Structures are given as C-alpha cells and as structure tokens.
Amino acid sequence: MTLGESGGYCTQQQLARAPLYPTEPKLDELLGRTSGHIKFTDAFVKALTTADLVVVAEQPEFLPTERRFDMAPVERCLQAVARHRPRATVILEAPAPVGYSLKASLQHRIIVIPAPLLMRTGSIAMDRAQPTRIIVGSTSDKGLNYAFIAVRSCRDPNTPYLLTNASEAEAIHAFERKRVLRGRSESGEEVADYCRIRRLNEDQVLRGLQPLAYVHESKLGELMT
C-alpha cells in the first residue's frame, strides 16, 4: 500500500521523532502495527501509475452558509486518477453530496465507488480502524472486493458491511451525519419521503440505517469463499 502526499511523515519522524499530526494521537500506534505494509511517498503520480485501487479519503470542508461540501480537493484527486491511471477503481471514503459519485464517474470516465465513513476530527485514524459498519456504494464484484479489503483492515474481523447502490450509500451517510449533528435520527417516514423525491432505493437506505444486527448480512468467512 502506498500513500501519496504524505512523504513528509517519514522525514519528520526520522528528524524530529515527533508526529506530523499532533491532533491524531493514535496514528503512530496504528502505523507501528502496519510496519512493512505501508509506504509513504510524495511522488503522487508515480504511485498512481501502478495502482489498481485508489482510496480518496480527503475530507472536504462543509460550507454552512452555502449548505454544501467544498469538493474541490476531491476533484483534484479524481482528475489526477483520470489522467494518470484511468483503469484504477476509486473508492471515495470522503463525504459527498447524494449523486456525486455517479456524476463524477461520468465526468472523469473512471469508476468511483462511494464508501463514506463517519470520521471525527482528532480520531480519524481510530475511526478508520474500528468503524461501526462499512457501507459500500456498489453491488458489483469491485464493491465486494473492496468490502473484503476494508473488513480485513478493521480491528474487528466481523465488522458488519452492506453493499448498496452508489447514491444510496451517500444518502445513508448523509442521514448518519445529521443524526450525529442533531442528536436524533430521522423517522422512517422522513427517510421514505426523501427516497421517493430522489428516486432512491428506499429498502437499501432504510436497511443501512438499521442496527448492526440487520446490516450484517454476511460474515468475513462467507466473503472469502
């Protein structure tokens, strides 16, 4: 695994023995357990040329006055993939507006699969290592393969996952984000109305918002067979 735009991390560690990301106190611990499996590089283009899977985890800034995410950083990543490795599958772990991945796939002529995660500032590393669930916005083999990789990277090998359509995955994340911000969940009727207006698969969205027992449709062992 090669991580682009992070080459400075190794240099910082060697010269100062201090973490480059002081707001992520658990990052060094996690990296220590993955020694030998991750290579940091600032040669972003070079890393792309041999990549089959590109995970974009850039967290776009939410613009409250405009009530939207600033997707410019994500767009730059997608443009780079489209230019240097259009055959690669892009996994978008960043939050995005509902329908964004489908539009981005058509615009850049690459495969973009949303798999948004709820990650909190100051604990992004830990939230990524132990998510409560994994939602992947593709029911294809590519989506299933990423679910396999994502589950294998979690601390809990039985982390539940769910495969949905692309826009449905983005909608599930949007409702989850609202729940965290407001402290309450949307009612089933509100979710159903939203899905009808957006022409989304209501069953997929509702299932993605259910407790883990209902989301966990298969185990890692089944995924590996």
Tens digit of pLDDT for each residue in 6-24? 433 343 444 334 444 556 6
In angstroms, rounded to a whole number, what is the distance separating the alpha carbons of residues 180 and 199?
A: 25
N-to-C CA span, the chain = 24
Please state, for a pLDDT cut of 70, what percent of the chain lies above it. Answer: 74
Would you put residue 201 in left (φ > 0), alpha (ψ -120 to 50) or beta?
A: beta
In angstroms, rounded to a whole number, what is the distance separating the alpha carbons of residues 21 and 110?
A: 31
In angstroms, rounded to a whole number, what is the distance separating the alpha carbons of residues 37 and 33?
A: 9
Give one DSSP letter per residue of 82-147, joined into a string.
Answer: HHH-TTSEEEE-S---TTHHHHHHHHHTSEEEE------TT-HHHHHHS-S-EEES--SHHHHHHH
pLDDT at 106 over 60: yes
Of the candidates 154, 119, 127, 123, which has an alpha carbon nearest to the alpha carbon of residue 21?
123
In angstroms, the Cα distances linking 111 to 66, 144, 150, 222 are 28, 14, 18, 26
What are the structure tokens assigned to 180, written together?
């965290």
pLDDT tens readout for residues 167-206: 999 999 999 888 877 777 888 888 999 999 999 999 999 9
Residue ranges with strand state E in the chain: 2-3, 39-40, 53-56, 62-63, 68-69, 89-92, 111-114, 134-136, 161-163
Mean pLDDT computed over every residue of the chain: 79
Distance of CA 44 to the CA centre of its chain: 19
Can you list the domains of the chain with their CATH numbers? 1-42 (no CATH), 43-224 (3.40.50.720)
